[in-house]
Amino acid sequence: MTFEEIHKVYWPKVYRQCMGYMNDHDAAKDITQETFIKVWQHLPKFRNESSIGTWVFRIAANSCLRQISKDKKMPKSEFPNEIVEEILVNNEPLVEFLYKCISELPEVERIIISLELEELKQKEIAKIVGLTESNVRVKIHRIKEKLTKKFQKHDR
Amino acid sequence: MTDNIDFKRYWNKQKIETQTPEELIKKANEFKRKTRFKLIVGNIVLLISCIGISFIWFYYQPEFLTTKIGVIIIMTAILIYVAFQSTLMPLLSKRNLEASAKEQLLQLLQLKEKQRFQQTTLLNGYFFLLSLGFGFYMYEYAVRMTFIWAVLTYGIVFFTIALNTFYFRPKTIRKQQARLNKLIAQLKDLKEQLTD
């Protein structure tokens, strides 16, 4: 696969993963960009040990987790209210709500559920995060339960 | 709402902001250039300070051994500091992209713990050598001054050293430690989340 092809297929997937993690378009775009810069730099050395998709998602997951080691930009809560409303771009309310709920989960759960929603096999998710497959399965089940509860509460 | 919510449907509706591959490659190259530039600037600053100090040595031809010892100690202090800083940097950015999140996290955690120890030791050593170097270096010039001036000059130097040792050094160390401690705590929390 050439870089252009990888970019075309995986940019939206990685972007969604980062959105689930950060729930902020600017931050998501930054981390997605960071991920693809790494992909571009390391593609010639890529040894195809795992599929290219797993590799890209792994770089993205690690880029997300690494965010804590960087000095955070201004936290969202410090923006004046009017701007926050502008930032919430015309998505369906439930789409917004889903991403908000996911971004409120613990870091590792955010990554696991994002990968699950991108339809990665649980075996691959386990490889990316470094947990056992059975643990990942249990976690996905629990996360979905949590999200369902939040959605039901939201609906009422 | 039912128990069976189709999260995937909502998930895939997220608006995507894209960037063309060309833009991206341009950014990647810019990033590379900037990193290299930073490294070069750091080395130039070091080089200039060393040249400046050696210039004093050759131009004023100090007669006392103490002055030469002082110059050597100051240069050693600067060199050690910069050498350590620049060997730590690549370690921070070099990582195995094939490793899982858990493995990378553990590596980062180890590195940061090492860094926490090193920074303190290194900074203590740096301040100590720098003060010692200046003390030696000043001696020759102080001897040539009148008594009052010598006392005044040494007084100022000692005051500066004291200020460094008791104010700036602990303050810098505290700041670095606070930042690293916070990060290490966060990393440990992540590690906890990644325990089977």
> How many Å lie between the alpha carbon of A145 and the closest alpha carbon of chain B?
9
Nearest to B97 by CA among A17, A49, A120, A10: A49
Q: Does the pLDDT of residue B91 top 70, yes or no?
A: no
Question: Between chains, do B102 and A111 touch, taking CB under 8 Å as contact?
Answer: no
- Per DSSP, the three-state class of B82 is helix
Tell me B6's DSSP state: -
Return the H-helix or E-strand segment holding B142.
helix B101-144
Q: Considering Cα of B71, then B77, then B80, then B84, what sign does the dihedral take? A: negative
Q: How far apart are CA B79 and CA B82, in angstroms?
A: 5
Name the more confident of B17 and A78.
Answer: B17
Question: pLDDT, tens digit, for every residue of A67-124?
Answer: 876 655 444 444 444 444 444 455 688 899 999 999 999 999 999 999 999 999 999 9
Is residue B3 within 8 A of residue A150, CB to CB? The reply is: no
CB contacts < 8 A (A, B): 126
What is residue A51's predicted lDDT score, i.e. its pLDDT? Answer: 85
Q: Taking the CA atoms of B62, B65, B66 and B71 in sequence, report the sign of the dihedral they define.
A: positive
Map out the domains of chain A with their CATH numbers.
Answer: 3-155 (1.20.140)
A33: nearest CB among B13, B27, B103? B27
Q: Span B63-73, mean pLDDT?
A: 88
Interatomic CA distance for residues A132 and A125, integer angstroms: 9
Share of chain A above pLDDT 90, in %: 66
For residue B162, the Cα-to-chain-centroid distance in whole angstroms is 22
Helix axes B147-163, B101-144, angle to 10 degrees: 170
Partners of residue A62 in chain B, C-beta under 8 Å: 97, 101, 104
Residue B183 is nearest to which of A68, A95, A135, comparing CB atoms? A68
Amino acid found at B65: L
DSSP notation for chain A: --HHHHHHHHHHHHHHHHHHHH--HHHHHHHHHHHHHHHHHHGGG---SS-HHHHHHHHHHHHHHGGGGSPP-S-GGGS-HHHHHHHS-S--HHHHHHHHHHHTS-HHHHHHHHHHHTT--HHHHHHHHT--HHHHHHHHHHHHHHHHHHHHHHH-
Query: Is A11 within 8 Å of B31 when comparing Cβ atoms?
Result: no
For residues A142 and B160, the model is more confident at: A142
High-pLDDT (> 90) share of chain B, %: 3
